[in-house]
């Protein structure tokens, strides 16, 4: 008899739902990767999903009867457990089949050969030997929420699909992302990368998954190996392949001095842009008309119409009209924190910088859109 255990449906489903997000969705590369790897040792069940680039491994408490390993179709087993009635689920493996029983509902699933399943890229030995960095969960999650959206989704430029994590000065970790239209830079004081890896490029996909995992967690531990990063969050281990190559020289993009500065209530400006953008169809930008003591937010789409709203704001500088992609502008206003924001500009075509008033830990640089 192989692996055998009993587990409450909801506990097993939570573990499966996490692991399945990393399992491959097609058999294009390796059939085993479309499965979840189950490993039982005593009363600890480890459920793992991986497509080689991203691995999610969850350990949960069960009532174990017989230790063992098995690989089962990820989507199928998750769906079966999801539809099972509340209560205990019994799982056992024998003769190339997994038996999943919930109440009077009985299922048999053909196994995927577990020898075909890849080894985790970071072993337990690496886990003990490599130096680690510990982050406060809430702060690290907030930092990720500020930078992940600015990474590119275009796989033809893989460097830009990552978030740069780099030690910056004494005891400071910097997170940087750009899709070449906007740039996010967030500093975390009191943290830096350990050991030989002072600069790594982590896929934004992995960090998006990490954001989900640390919603309730107090700590996140990061370990680095030559080609991989491992994040431990509670009972979940996330391992991601690092992106090779050199991140663009982003420092040269950040203006050192900008003569124009708008200060406005963040929430009020955000809500105004959301309302006005309703008439900014497709790629139509939103225009900000800035002058002393006043800001007009305008969207004009030919054959559709025009939307315009005034926002109370303080402004120092030359009267200026500057236009932005409305989605990118909203993302920036969502990312900055605090009651008031500043928008610093040079002219209608050079990069603008959005910050929280009085907080230098985060900046959002945004390229204007040319309008006639």
SS (HEC) of 114-180: HHHCCCCCCCHHHHHHCCEEEEEHHHHHHHHHHHHHHCCCCCCCHHHHEEEEEECCCCEEEEEEECC
- Residue intervals of the chain classified under CATH 3.10.150.10 are 4-116, 135-250, 254-366
Phi/psi at 315 (nearest 5 deg)?
-140, 135
The whole-angstrom separation of Cα 208 and Cα 199 is 19
What is the fold, at CATH topology level, of the domain defined by 254-366? DNA Polymerase III; Chain A, domain 2 (3.10.150)
Please tell me the predicted confidence (pLDDT) of residue 128. 53
CATH superfamily of 135-250: DNA Polymerase III, subunit A, domain 2 (3.10.150.10)
Which strand ranges, in their side-by-side order, compose the sheet holding 68-73?
Answer: 68-73, 35-41, 44-50, 54-61, 236-241, 228-233, 219-224, 132-136
**CA distances for 341 relative to 145, 164, 334, angstroms:** 17, 25, 11
Give the DSSP per-residue string, 45-94.
Answer: EEEEEE-SSEEEEEEEE-EEEE-EEEEEEHHHHHHHHHHSPSSEEEEEEE
| Residue 12 phi, psi (nearest 5) | -65, -40
Provide the whole-model pTM.
0.91
Summarize pLDDT for 301-356 with one digit per residue, the tens: 888 899 999 999 999 999 999 999 999 999 999 999 999 999 999 999 999 999 99
Q: How confident is the model at residue 187 (pLDDT cuts 50, 70, 90)?
A: very high
Q: Decide: helix, strand or coil at residue 347.
A: coil
What mean pLDDT, rounded, does the chain reach? 91
Q: Residue 177: is its pLDDT beyond 90?
A: yes
Mean pLDDT value of segment 9-22: 96
CA–CA distance, 230 with 222 (Å, rounded to integer): 6
Q: Residues near 258 by Cβ (< 8 Å), separated by ≥ 6? A: 344, 345, 346, 352, 353
Cα-based distances in Å from 209 to 128, 213, 310 = 24, 7, 39
Percent of the chain with pLDDT over 90: 76
Return the pLDDT at 130: 63
DSSP label at residue 104: T
Q: Which residue has the higher pLDDT, 121 or 324?
A: 324
Question: Of 176, 178, 185, whose CA–CA distance to 150 is shortest?
Answer: 178
CATH of domain 4-116: 3.10.150.10
Cα(21)–Cα(122) distance, rounded to whole angstroms? 19
- Mean pLDDT, rounded, for 124-151: 82
pLDDT over 60 at 125, yes or no? no
Cα–Cα distance measured from residue 269 to residue 342, given in angstroms and rounded to the nearest whole number: 11
For residue 172, CA distances in Å to 149, 187, 200 come to: 22, 7, 14
Q: Phi and psi for 11 in degrees, rounded to 5?
A: -65, -45
Tokens of 18: 């996490």
Count of alpha carbons within 13 Å of 216, Cβ hemisphere only? 3
Q: For 222-281, how does the pLDDT look when each residue is reduced to its tens digit (9 = 90+)?
A: 999 889 999 999 999 999 999 999 999 999 999 988 999 999 999 999 999 999 998 887
Helix axes 9-20, 74-83, angle to 10 degrees: 150
Is the per-residue pLDDT at 106 higher than 60? yes
Pairing of strands 172-178, 228-233: unpaired
Would you state the pLDDT for residue 287? 96
């Amino acid at each position: 008899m192989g692996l055998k255990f009993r587990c409450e449906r909801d506990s097993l489903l939570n573990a499966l739902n996490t692991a399945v997000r990393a399992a491959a969705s097609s058999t294009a590369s390796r059939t085993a990767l479309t499965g979840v790897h189950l490993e039982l040792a005593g009363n600890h069940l480890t459920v793992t999903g991986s497509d080689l680039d991203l691995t999610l491994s969850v350990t949960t408490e069960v009532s174990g009867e017989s230790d063992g390993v098995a690989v089962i179709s990820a989507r199928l087993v998750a769906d079966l457990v999801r539809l099972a009635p509340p209560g205990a689920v019994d799982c056992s493996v024998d003769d190339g089949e997994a038996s999943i029983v919930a109440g009077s509902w009985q299922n048999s699933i053909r196994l995927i050969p577990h020898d075909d399943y890849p080894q985790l890229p970071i072993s337990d030995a690496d886990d003990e030997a490599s130096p680690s960095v510990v982050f406060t969960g809430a702060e690290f999650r907030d930092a990720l929420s500020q930078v992940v959206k600015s990474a590119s989704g275009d796989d033809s430029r893989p460097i830009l699909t990552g978030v740069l994590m780099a030690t910056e000065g004494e005891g400071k970790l910097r997170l940087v992302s750009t899709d070449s239209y906007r740039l996010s830079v967030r500093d975390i004081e009191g943290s830096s990368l350990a050991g030989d890896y002072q600069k790594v490029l982590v896929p934004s996909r992995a960090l998006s998954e990490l954001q989900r995992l640390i919603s309730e967690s107090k700590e996140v531990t990061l370990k680095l190996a030559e080609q991989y990063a491992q994040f431990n969050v509670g009972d979940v281990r996330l391992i991601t392949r690092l992106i090779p190559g050199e991140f663009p020289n982003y420092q040269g993009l950040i203006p050192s001095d900008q003569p124009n500065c708008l200060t406005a209530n963040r929430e009020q400006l955000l809500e105004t842009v959301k309302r006005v953008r309703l008439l900014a169809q497709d790629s139509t930008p939103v225009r900000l008309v800035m002058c002393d003591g006043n800001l007009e937010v305008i969207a004009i789409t030919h054959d559709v119409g025009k939307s315009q709203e005034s926002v109370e704001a303080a402004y120092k500088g030359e009267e200026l009209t500057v236009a932005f992609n409305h989605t990118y502008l909203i993302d920036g206003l969502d990312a900055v924190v605090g009651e008031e924001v500043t928008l610093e500009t040079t002219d209608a075509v050079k990069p603008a910088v959005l910050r929280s008033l009085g907080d230098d830990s985060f900046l959002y640089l945004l390229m204007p859109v040319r309008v006639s």
